[in-house]
Amino acid sequence: MDASTAFYVISLIKILVVFAVLMTTLAYLQWIERKVIAHIQVRPGPYFVGPHGLLQPLADVVKLITKEDLLPPYVNKPIYLAAPFIAVSMALLSISVIPFGPKIDVFGYQTYMQLTDLNIGVLFILAVSSVGVYGVALAGWSSNNKYALLGALRSSAQMISYELPLSLAIAAPLLISNTLSLRQLVVTQGGAPGHPGTFWNWNLFHGWQWISFIIFLIAAFAETNRVPFDLAEAENELVAGFHTEYSSMKFASFFMAEYANMITVSCMAVLLFLGGWVAPWPAKYGSGLVPVAVFALSGLIALYHGLHPARRMDRFSLPVVGVVFLIVAAVFLAPFTQSWLLPLFWFCAKVGLILFAFIWVRGTLPRFRYDQLMVFTWKFLFPIAVMNLLVTGLVVALV
């Protein structure tokens, strides 16, 4: 196989792998969210469909597919059908530039763990999320429904208002890393091949980007329409906001788009501030044992609880989970996985941490009223983001 066909074949394989993993993650992100919120509210959450509710996402997918797919006669058909398509395709498109790890060897061909490395990667993600606003706005307009239109206008005004502090918060670590390419961002934060860095190289610590990180997270909450900024789509507000008139798969598309957006902004936060796939201390000093310890500990805890089960079915499910986790811990010890599985683990662990923060905030905070939300961004967040960029620029220029 010559180089160019190898390139196409490997790219195709990468696309399929990323797509499969992303779809599974989206489905199970919803399970994790429901479980975490349930435990915050001291109740078990989805429990009956499969052991510990693990088949709940499957049941939800089957339910949504088999629901009646209404096409109301009073909607503007082309725009009504196009809106969820725009929302989902833009949400999935932004995953295509995210780097998951360093260069790896696949059957003798070297390839990056990334679908494509644009040298304007950050601008690409910003552009794609700007176009994603249309999915929401057009959905509300085409539904020919007062509530949907109001919800859509509010939601899209919120999204474009929060794009400003988001872009300014992104600009500050870019001043420090001096690049727009996502892979280069990680390289400047200690991810250079052969010279692994420590947590001190991350932009959050060495670059002192605490304020940018907080502004980025707040703006990300607003961009993805999550609590506390989810007024436009909350069930007990405006009927259901912009997706009132949508049913079955089209409704599912909006949910998929929201979770995919959540994953994208979490990945962006990790790449910009938390050093991407760089481990907190280099692997040769033992950070490769951290995932082993984590998985082995969880496996042992699961096994222990399996021996003294709280509920009847736990006698079977928990020991199985324990054994699976112990096998995963053993895989992390194997030498052939050290170069690619460890960076992937650190990247996923950091993204998981931020996703957990998203879900944690959803279970904890009440939602903002719409005028409070708008005043918050224009009179508070935007000036702070500008001052932060100014100070960062001054420090970079003078130091």
Partner 1 sequence: MDVILFLIFAAISLVCAVNVVIQPHPISSAISLIGVMGSLAVLYLLLGAEFIAAAQVIVYAGAVMVLFLFVIMLLNAGRETAQSKSETAHLLGVPALLVFALLLAYFLRQRPEEGVHFGGFTGGSAEAVGRALFTAYLLPFEVVSVLILIAIVGAIVLARKEI
Closer residue to partner 1 in complex, CB, 133/321: 133
Using CB under 8 A as the binding rule, the residues of this chain from 153 to 192 that contact partner 1 are: 153, 156-157, 160, 163, 180
Only segment of 14-22, 25-33, 122-130, 315-323 that touches partner 1 (CB under 8 A) = 122-130
User: CB 234 → partner 1: shortest distance, Å?
Assistant: 21
61 and 55 Cβ atoms separated by less than 8 Å = no
Asked whether position 131 contacts partner 1 by CB under 8 A, the answer is yes
User: Strand runs (DSSP E) across the chain, as ranges?
Assistant: 101-106, 109-113
286: left (phi over 0), alpha (psi -120 to 50) or beta: left
Q: What is the DSSP letter of 211?
A: H
User: CB 104 → partner 1: shortest distance, Å?
Assistant: 27
244 and 74 Cβ atoms separated by less than 8 Å = no
Asked whether position 126 contacts partner 1 by CB under 8 A, the answer is yes
Asked whether position 10 contacts partner 1 by CB under 8 A, the answer is no
317 and 50 Cβ atoms separated by less than 8 Å = no
Closer residue to partner 1 in complex, CB, 55/180: 180
Closer residue to partner 1 in complex, CB, 130/339: 130
Sequence-separated contacts (24+) of 280-289 with Cβ below 8 Å = 280/198, 280/199, 280/346, 281/198, 281/199, 282/196, 282/197, 282/198, 283/196, 283/338, 283/342, 284/196, 287/342, 288/332, 288/338, 288/342
Using CB under 8 A as the binding rule, the residues of this chain from 71 to 100 that contact partner 1 are: 76, 79
Among 11, 24, 116, 119, binds partner 1 (CB under 8 A): 119
68: left (phi over 0), alpha (psi -120 to 50) or beta: beta
278 and 202 Cβ atoms separated by less than 8 Å = yes
User: CB 146 → partner 1: shortest distance, Å?
Assistant: 11
How many chain residues are in contact with partner 1, going by CB under 8 A? 22
Only segment of 123-131, 213-221, 256-264, 316-324 that touches partner 1 (CB under 8 A) = 123-131
User: CB 371 → partner 1: shortest distance, Å?
Assistant: 15
Number of H helices, E strands in the chain: 13, 2
Closer residue to partner 1 in complex, CB, 65/131: 131
Residue numbers at the binding site for partner 1 (CB under 8 A): 76, 79, 119-120, 123-124, 126-127, 130-131, 133-134, 137-138, 141, 149, 153, 156-157, 160, 163, 180
